[in-house]
Amino acid sequence: MRNWLFPLWVIIDVLVFLTAMALWIAAPEYKTLNIGLTVFATALGFLLMFAKFEEIKTYVRSSYFEKVLFHGINVLLVVSILGVANYLGNKNYKEFDLTKEKRNSLTDQTVKVLDMVKSPLKMTVFARREEWNGILNLLKLYVAQNKNIKLEAIDTDLRPDLVKAKEITQNGTVVLDYQGKESQFPVIDELSVTNALLKVLRTEKIVLYFVTGHQELSCEEKSPEGISVLCEKLRLQNYELRPLELTKVDRVPKDATAVFVLGPISGFLPQEANLIKEYLNTGGSFFLALAPAFKSELYDNLTKLMEPYGLELGKDVVIDRLSTVQGAEATIPIISNYDNQHPITEGFNLRTVFPLSSSVRTIKGKDSAQLLATTSNFPGSWAETNLKGVTEGKAEYNEKSDLKGPIGLLGISELAIPNTPRDSRVVLLGSSSFLVNAYQAQAGNTTLFLNTVSWMVDDEGIISFNRPGLEEPPVILSAQHLQMIFVISILVVPIIFFGTAIFVYRRRRLL
């Protein structure tokens, strides 16, 4: 082998070996690449040693090699000690937050929640590798607080098989595995993580009963007209979903946390409505979603259940002309007005779609009822009572019979029932089409529905944290500042160090 070629191969071997070491530390998930580089570097090293075996044997016997070996062992020992210290520190690290607002620490509420984790809990992050940093920095605070928590990150680009198996639909999703229960949620902030932990730590079973027998919306229907998307989201929250046919029972099951009647086409028998009424009188929760009643008497015995709670469903169709500006029909209100004082919609700012909706109104004197979502003001919207005109496409505002906007579309109410362990909560939704699969992908319908169900079954988690606000303004760096930092840290400082090293080396050669 030519004299100049051998050192080149040695340099290449060393670089490959260092690269393999760096990858094992920084990217252990790339196992195939890491093993390949390690094997290649090792094989090349043995090949180079074999090519220079005689020279190496002579060199090993020299006194110079003894000095090199002595210093090499010292360096190896120092590196080993530092490596062990780094490993122990990584496994038992402590962090100190010196910021005044404790913005880099978990809140007291989160710490209390983490104290409830008594068994191994695994957090698996599904995200692209470039999105890991922010997510892992947050979740490592949870790991540091409780040693029962284990953290793993999966690159969705590398493991599409796992993404499909876990039915992950959004980057930045975390799957929690605790005592055989799995739950997944998208990481937004500390609040989202802590609430997800609360739900997976929940010991009591939440059972949701969906009334059947009246051609209601079906969880089994995966077409755009079904509600399989929402049902799957509920199951991911560890809720148990069961069908309920009221004509075959003499009472709503005792384990029912809530009962749902979603978009029935045929009417309810009086005895069926009475079973729901009896259930509500025991502190039950009830979600009623109806389409506009073009046959006005169809839903009367259901809507009467809402009257004691102060909610009323109008026999009308909501018209919102502002929806046409956004490309929708006037009978498909696009909503961005919410009651930000209620836990369900506090901080909620997503757009929602209420196709073919009846108005939801509060009854005077019933302070327990609240409207959470409303249309724009008149003349942009109104509730049209001429249902025949709507079907013929001739809806016009009539001052005598129609209701001016803003019009309520979603109402909730809560009543204290004597001698019951919890209050009775009801939800009245004027649009059953709000729930169907066709309107879950491009709007906030899913989030608003899940928030509403969580409130209804008293599974809200933590609404807000007791973290103090920031007092000092954030530091904003201009493009010039960023360029200066780059030049100094990436170019100037390394050049100074390399220049100093070369200068010291040349001085020592001259001495």
Give the domain ranges of the chain.
108-195, 205-456, 476-511
The first and second tokens of residue 92, run together, are 């038992």
The Cα 144–Cα 92 span in angstroms is 8
| Residue 261, number of CB atoms within 10 A of its CB | 27
Give me the tens of pLDDT residue by residue for the chain, a chain 511 residues long.
556 677 777 788 888 888 888 777 766 767 788 888 888 888 888 888 888 788 877 877 888 878 888 888 888 898 889 888 877 776 666 666 666 656 677 877 788 788 888 889 999 999 888 888 888 888 888 888 888 989 988 888 888 888 888 888 888 888 998 888 888 888 878 878 887 888 788 777 889 999 999 999 999 999 999 999 999 888 877 789 999 999 999 999 999 999 999 999 988 999 999 999 999 999 999 999 998 866 557 788 999 999 999 999 998 889 887 776 555 677 888 898 999 888 888 878 888 999 989 999 999 888 889 999 999 888 888 888 887 777 767 777 888 888 888 999 999 999 998 888 888 999 999 999 999 999 887 678 988 998 899 899 887 555 445 444 444 455 556 677 778 887 788 878 888 887 888 888 777 777 6
Task: Decide the pairing of beta strands 285-289 and 424-429.
Answer: parallel
Kindly tell me the burial class for residue 325, based on how many C-beta atoms sit within 10 Å of its own C-beta (0-12, 13-18, 19 or more).
exposed
The Cα 389–Cα 443 span in angstroms is 29
Amino acid at site 205: K
Q: Say if CB 316 and CB 383 are below 8 A apart.
A: yes
The Cα 416–Cα 308 span in angstroms is 12
Residue 430 carries which DSSP code?
S
The first and second tokens of residue 185, run together, are 């949620």
Q: What interhelical angle do 132-145 and 190-200 show, nearest 10?
A: 50
The Cα 372–Cα 408 span in angstroms is 7
- The helices-and-strands tally (H runs, E runs) of the chain is 16, 19
The Cα 85–Cα 77 span in angstroms is 12
| Claim: this prediction has a pTM higher than 0.85 | no
Amino acid at site 383: A
Q: 108-195 has which CATH code?
A: 3.40.30.10
Give the residue from 110, 115, 170, 120 showing the smallest Cα distance to 149: 120
The Cα 304–Cα 146 span in angstroms is 50
Task: Decide the pairing of beta strands 317-320 and 424-429.
Answer: unpaired
Asked if CATH classification 3.40.50.2300 holds for the domain at 205-456, the reply, yes or no, is: no
Long-range contacts at 91-99 (CB < 8 A, ≥ 24 apart):
93/144, 94/144, 95/141, 95/144
